[in-house]
Amino acid sequence: MTDSVTVKLSKPITHNGEEISELTFHEATVGDMIAGDEVEGDFGKTVAILASMAGVSYEAFKAMRAGDINKVTKATTGLLGNADTPEDSGSE
């Protein structure tokens, strides 16, 4: 598994006055998961976690196009601990 993944956006978003056309997501940490707990709703929690993983604000992330969030969720599945890996299938 890779430690990060970069996704090119179909339309840039703005974060801290800077236009961003691609986002790089790191592997989820406990801190990212806690960021999700600060928001209501399952989808909102997911968006908050992904925003934290990319180092952008929740508000900036919400401006992303729906098609881009679909690309992001597919690209980051392994970073969220949701992908099966060979070491997951063995016993210790």
Distance, CA of 1 to CA of 17 (rounded, Å): 33
Strands, E assignment, the chain: 4-15, 18-26
Query: What local confidence, expressed as pLDDT, does residue 81 receive?
Result: 78
- Report the pLDDT value the prediction gives residue 1, as an integer from 0 to 100: 56
Indicate the pTM of the whole model: 0.83
Nearest partner of 44 among 59, 55, 29, judged by Cα? 59
Q: Which residue ranges make up each domain of the chain?
A: 4-81
Q: Which two tokens stand for residue 77?
A: 């599945």
pLDDT above 90: residue 85: no
Q: Is the pLDDT of residue 88 over 50?
A: no
Please report which confidence band the pLDDT of residue 89 belongs to, taking 50, 70 and 90 as the band edges.
very low
Higher pLDDT, residue 43 or 92: 43
